[in-house]
Structure 1
Amino acid sequence: MSALRTSNPTGQAVATVLLAGGKGSRLHDLTTAESKPAVHFAGRNRIVDFAMANVVRSGLDRLLVATQFAPATLHDHLPARWGGHFPDGGMILRNGHNRYLGTADAVRHNWAQIKDWGSDQVLVLAADHIYDMDYAALIAAHRASGAAVTVAVDVVPLSQASSFGVMQADATGRIRSFLEKPAHPPAIPGEPDRAMVSMGIYVFETDWLRDALFGQDIESLDFGHEVIPAAVSQGLAMAYRLPAGPSGQAYWRDVGTIDALRQSHLDFLGQQPVRLPRISTLSEWYLGRGSVAMPGALVPSSARLSQCLVAPGVRIPAGLVVGEDPDEDDRWFRRDRNTLLITQAMLDRRDTMRRATFLPAGTRPSLQPRDVA
């Protein structure tokens, strides 16, 4: 990993807001009591560490982290892991206490701090993606464009675009249309199988953002649904394409599902599509057979796991076979497309029910097969 930058290359301080309050409900058991940005990735890293490493490498030193769901882990982890890069109170953590009603509303609630910083631009980041990006280059492009807002974008297969904000831009990069999670996303002109999507990363002119958040339309709660479409309708929004990373290609993944989380881990096999914020080894998390273990999991060599994601702290029993008998797997474990999630609660329930078959009639517990819908 290259040395983390500590100087400010942007030429002028920028107020940075990291939105880290999401629950990540599609990660199911992994986010029952943990926020999505706090979920582990590639050993001891957490998802939030990728955005944090980008912030530090980009030399940004005015950071507000807006947390909300299950904030305790982030409030412990971020100061311990990253606090040394933000002297003089440069990193501020704010728990929304369930007051934030959307991404834009989180920024609105913290406007007093942004105002105190007196910055001409506000950089808004999502804390739950895996990617490598120089925000200084994004900010420089925004300033050169004269736009009110610049949206960082990537290109994804059209079949996946419905999960994102989808846009079309002209030859100059000015965004001409923006649709948030459309059922029928438009393709890039001339590329019928691909779409341009928002990464949830924005640079705003501070004055324009203030007016958008506190103007007559006080119902602007979300950037994707209200604020960005407003800028597009005014002709004031530009697109910034994610440059290639260390692998030679652009890499950005919204690890919003169990299957996406496991598949993103596997992207690191044999290459490093983005720089890991902390040194980890494959032996810390890769089990073979397309399976991944999260920190604290113990997996004996006699177990045979295929395309599994083993949750933190799980104790896999000797000889366990998962991933070869779909009917048996679906009785006990959660399936998400090509991935099976294994938690300790699932194993405990499996053990209880299997032992119950050997109890005398009338003493067996009344347990129903686990709902994996």
Structure 2
Amino acid sequence: MNPRISIKDLCYKPGSQLRLPKSFSSIFYTKNLQTNGSSTYLLPPANKCQSVAAIVFGDGSSHSKLYPLTKRRSEGAIPIAGNYRLIDAVVSNCINSNISKIYAITQFNSTSLNSHLSRAYSGTNLLKEGFVEVIAAYQTPEDKGWFQGTADSIRRCLWMLEEHPVLEYLVIPGYHLYKMDYQKLIDVHRSSNADITVSVLSKQRNEDLGFGIFALGSKNQVIEFKEDQELKASKSVSAEDSKEARDIARRSFPSMGIYVINRNTMIKLLRDYFPSANDLKSEVIRGAISLGLKVQAYLFDGYWEDMRSIEAYYRANMELVRRTNEAYNRFYDRDTPLYTLPRCLPPTLVNDAVIADSVIADGCILNRCKIKGTVVGVMTRVADEAVIEDSIIMGADAYQYQSCMGEEGMGIPVGIGEGSLIRKAIIDKNARIGKNVMIINKDNVEEANKEADGYIITGGIVVITRSAAISDGSII
């Protein structure tokens, strides 16, 4: 490695000629099989977003606050708004922003997520000449353990990421709900000649988001990053803080976990400067700031739900049915639609049911029931006289026939039984709710772990676990 080459030398600047040092020319070098093995250089396409590859992380961690929804699935695979998965919002943002090279890095409980991504986006015309490529956690003779974090997983996948000649990587979590035109983010990155651009929330949020805070200078250049524990410690400082400290506090914004990083900057940081770093934000990006690289901020002022808790997930679904803000429009925007797995399901069958302010997915069978303020997922069956209010019913993976019930679930079919009442609850997939069941949190409990009985309560919301069976006449 040439020690005289600085990381600044490796960063392409818009408007300049792309010239790489000899030691790095292999990055864009390949064999052209159609010219008898002669050598050629591949340059990124002219379209500004075609020269960007997205790296999507489909899961947060093994200690998700969305448990028990993440007991058998990763965060990105959680159903949302009846027909979709959380990761669909992020992949759709990429497609609608003309970013067609998408790598999805998965690890925890990734089976359903990997299956969804492969079935929904492989071979689709939406991506034209692009792809959605799933990179599941793997081991090699050199690396025999799990991915240890975002930085570690990208570093171990660089050999695959380097196959395509792009200028920047867009790094994004796959389990947040929002609509963003990534072209605007990339424009800010390039116009500011930044090495790294981080996306931050410009709107103040009352709750602790848990993603850390970026402090910005006068031209939105990042001057500092603080983790949550550092923020809590700083609150104990006396009121006699310096004016500079108070100014920094006023110019601090929550991180969204979304970054644009110049390709060569990423490679250099991960392999040379921070070869043992595990986390991209707290170690690598913070380290880039200390190295003097230009880290810019992009202020985002649109709707964004982080989905870091059961309460946040419930709130996002309820905002959809109440049509209170941009969340509703996100799913019905014809110019930037949300994509997902096409299903060959029949239309929903409604038999003398009363439905108000609700979202009903495909393939449901709703008999003489009442549904209000509820998201009803695919292939949900609701029996006569059932009442569902302010709830999320995730539905089923397949139709169930009476002859297939057997003894499993005490003979209770998948779906909502006759005369049952469900209020402010989340019913996970394939759950069996018997007849005359009341899921209403009758004792107004805030937190309870009754997983052995098929449910938990968190934030006052009752969550019936996947494939749980609630016997006839039960009161929760």
State the TM-score, normalizing by the size of structure 2.
Answer: 0.64
Matches within 5 A, 1:360-371: none
Cα distance, 1:327–1:268 mapped onto 2, change above 3 Å: closer
Q: Match for residue 207 of structure 1?
A: 264
1:342, distance to aligned residue in structure 2 (A): 1.1
Of 321, 325, 349, which aligns to 2:438?
Answer: 321
2:192 is equivalent to residue 154 of structure 1: no
Q: Does 1:96 align with 2:137?
A: yes
> Quick one: distance in 2 between partners of 1:240 and 1:9?
21
The 3 A distance-change label for structure 1 pair 8 and 253 is farther
Match of 1:130, as an amino acid? L
* 1:173/1:238 contact within 8 Å kept: yes
Query: In structure 2, which of residues 69, 78, 86 is the aligned counterpart of residue 47 of structure 1?
Result: 86
1:13 aligns with 2:51: yes
2:318 matched residue in structure 1: 266
The structure carrying a bigger helix percent of its residues is 1
Inter-CA distance 235–8: structure 2 relative to 1 (3 Å threshold): closer
Residues of 2 paired with 1:334 and 1:33: CA distance? Answer: 15
Distance 2:83 2:121 in 1: 14
- 2:109 paired residue number: 70
Query: CA separation in 2, counterparts of 1:353 and 1:268?
Result: 31
Distance 1:162 1:53, change over 3 A: closer
Instruction: After superposing the two structures, state which structure 1 stretch, 263-272 or 121-130, moved more.
Output: 263-272
Residue segments in structure 2 that go unaligned for 5+ positions in a row: 1-44, 139-144, 236-244, 332-337, 341-347, 349-357, 362-373, 377-387, 397-413
* C-alpha RMSD over aligned residues: 3.2
Higher relative contact order (CA 8 A, sep 6+): 1
Greater mean deviation of Cα atoms: 218-227 or 74-83: 74-83
Q: Secondary structure at the match of 1:99?
A: coil
**SS at 1:27's partner residue?**
coil
Q: Does the aligned pair in 1 maintain the 2:445–2:460 contact within 8 Å?
A: no
CA shift for structure 1 position 304: 2.0
Query: 8 Å contact 2:441–2:460 — kept in the other structure?
Result: no
Paired position in structure 1 for 2:393: 293
In structure 2, the residue matched to 1:80 is 119
Identify which of 300, 307, 313 aligns with 1:242.
300
| Structure 1, unaligned runs of 5 or more | 1-6, 244-249, 355-373
Inter-partner Cα distance in structure 1 for 2:263 and 2:225:
21
Q: Where does residue 31 of structure 1 map in the other structure?
A: 70
2-side partners of 1:290 and 1:87: how far apart?
Answer: 40
Q: TM-score, normalised by structure 1?
A: 0.81
Larger radius of gyration: 2
CA–CA distance in structure 1, aligned partners of residues 169 and 274 of structure 2 = 20
Q: Distance in 1 between matches of 2:194 and 2:172?
A: 18
Shift of 1:259: 1.7
Matching residue's letter, 2:296: M
Instruction: Name which of 153, 156, 161 aligns with 1:109.
Output: 156
Deviations 1:7-61 (A, max 9, x none): 9852651122111243462222221221111111111200000001001001112
2:224 pairs with 1:224: no
Partner letter of residue 136 of structure 2?
N
Residue of structure 2 aligned with 1:307, choices 424, 433, 442: 424
Q: How does 1:331-370 map to 2 (within 5 A)?
A: 332=453, 333-343=455-465, 347-348=469-470, 351=471
- TM-aligned CA deviation for residue 184 of structure 1: 3.0
- Bigger mean CA deviation after superposition, 19-28 or 96-105: 19-28
Q: Residues 67-88 of structure 1, C-alpha deviation per residue, up to 9 Å, x if partnerless? A: 1122222222113222313345
Q: 1:8 to 1:42 in 2, by over 3 A?
A: farther
Report percent identity of matched pairs.
22
Opposite residue 457 of structure 2, the aligned amino acid is: R
CA contact (8 A) 1:153 1:198 kept: yes
**Counterpart pick for 1:256 among 296, 305, 308:** 308
Q: 1 CA distance for matches of 2:468 and 2:251?
A: 39
Structure-1 separation of matches of 2:230 and 2:468: 34
CA contact (8 A) 1:291 1:309 kept: yes
Contact preservation (8 Å) 2:423, 2:440? yes
